[in-house]
Amino acid sequence: MPARPIRRRRYRSVPIGRILLLGFFVIFVIVPLYWVFNTSIKPSSDYLAIPPVWFPDEPTIVHYTAALFTYRGLEGLINSIIISSAATVLSALFGTLMAYSLSRYNTGGQHLSFWVLSQRFLPPIAIILPIFLIYRSIGIYDTHLGMILAYTVFTLPVSVWMMFAYFRQMPRSMEEAALVDGCTRWRAFWTVAVPLAAPGIVAAAVFAFIACWTEFFFALLLTSKNAFTLPTVFRSFLSFQGAQYGEAAALSIVSLGPSIALGVLAQRHLVRGLTLGAVRG
């Protein structure tokens, strides 16, 4: 939970306006998701029914099998799992290393940390064309390796800044004690600071994973037939709009699962994740 509720005496008995607003907003969030789910299990014969079918009588899984096998959704799913997991591990690892150095040794002063931060706001369109040309010339276009590297760089600013904020609020006394006892700096970091920072590292990794899992732009332009990720599979439904609604909806549902599950589990850290650690939730 990002924020603790305030307990206060209420001075109005039933806040009707608030209930209406909140109710309206909850419905606004849920209805589109329900319609996608509904479309994914609805037989194609119900698509154009008037009135629209909200509860299909004969739910079907044909759209799921078609999306996964005919439209290569399964390959996209596997690629997404491989690329997102590897990039997450690298990003969390390199991000933690750098954040520790920034927070404990003030490496590079404010310039280095701000330089990393500014990468978070770099419009991808500004670097994608050269990356595309470079990838083609060194032969990692449309490979897992190329995507893993791109996603590691893409998520590093968030990992570094989330961990930077985490280390800053973590007391140094344990590491200092380890150093006094004759540990090398590396051992003080690896055996003392990292275990203490484990919850923060997990949170940073979760947000890195979600960012990779939902990313579209790099995947669209750096992959084609081999290392394509799940979001790019939606391209194949574009040219046939009209017939493939069920498949698109089924693939959406498949893709939603992991990132929503992780996000809701990590919601305690959501505010820090969204603001790069600037705001403590």
Partner 1 sequence: MSETNVIRRLEAAGLPPQLSRFGEWADRHFKWVLVAPAVLLILALSIYPLVYSLVVSFINFDFQVPGHAFVGFKNFERVIADPVARWSLVLTAFLSFSSVAIEFILGFAVAMTMMRSFPGRGLIMSILIVPLFISPVIVGQTFTLLLQRPFGPTNYVLSALLGNEVTISWLTESPYIYFSLILADVWQWTPFMFVILLAGLTAIPPNLYEAAELDGVGPWQVFWSITVPHLGPMILLAITFRLLDAIRLFDTIFIMTGGGPGTSTYTASYYLYTIGFTQFHLSQATAGSWLFLIFTALVVVFLVRRLLKAETN
Residues of this chain, 260-279, that bind partner 1 according to CB under 8 A:
260, 262-264, 267, 270-271, 274-276, 278-279
Stretch of 55-63, 64-72, 196-204, 251-259 lying at the interface with partner 1 (CB under 8 A): 251-259
The alpha carbon torsion through 96, 102, 103, 104 (nearest 10 deg) reads 100
- The only residue of 85, 172, 174, 196 in contact with partner 1, by rule CB under 8 A: 172
The answer to whether 56 and 42 have CB atoms below 8 angstroms apart is yes
Q: If binding is defined by CB under 8 A, does position 10 make contact with partner 1?
A: yes
Question: In the set 41, 165, 192, 227, which binds partner 1 (CB under 8 A)?
Answer: 165
Query: CA Rg, the chain, in Å?
Result: 23
The residue within the footprint of partner 1, chosen from 64, 71, 100, 228 (CB under 8 A), is 100
Structure tokens at 142: 């449309």
Q: Does 190 participate in binding partner 1 (rule CB under 8 A)?
A: no
Stretch that binds partner 1, among 63-71, 110-118, 196-204 (CB under 8 A): 110-118
194 near partner 1 (CB under 8 A): no
What residues have CB less than 8 Å from 60, skipping those under 6 apart? 41, 42, 43
Residues 113-132 touching partner 1, rule: CB under 8 A, are 114, 116-119, 121-132
Q: Shortest Cβ distance from residue 252 to partner 1 (Å)? A: 5
Residue with tokens 């698509």: 47
Contact 144, 234 (CB under 8 A): no
Contact 227, 276 (CB under 8 A): no
- Cα(245)–Cα(230) distance, integer angstroms: 16
- Regarding 92 and contact with partner 1 (CB under 8 A), the answer is no
Alpha carbon 116 to its chain centroid, in Å, reads 19
Binding mask of the shown chain, residues 11 to 50, with x at each position contacting partner 1 by CB under 8 A: x---x--xx-xx--xx-xxx-xx-xx--x-------xx-x
77 binds partner 1 (CB under 8 A): no
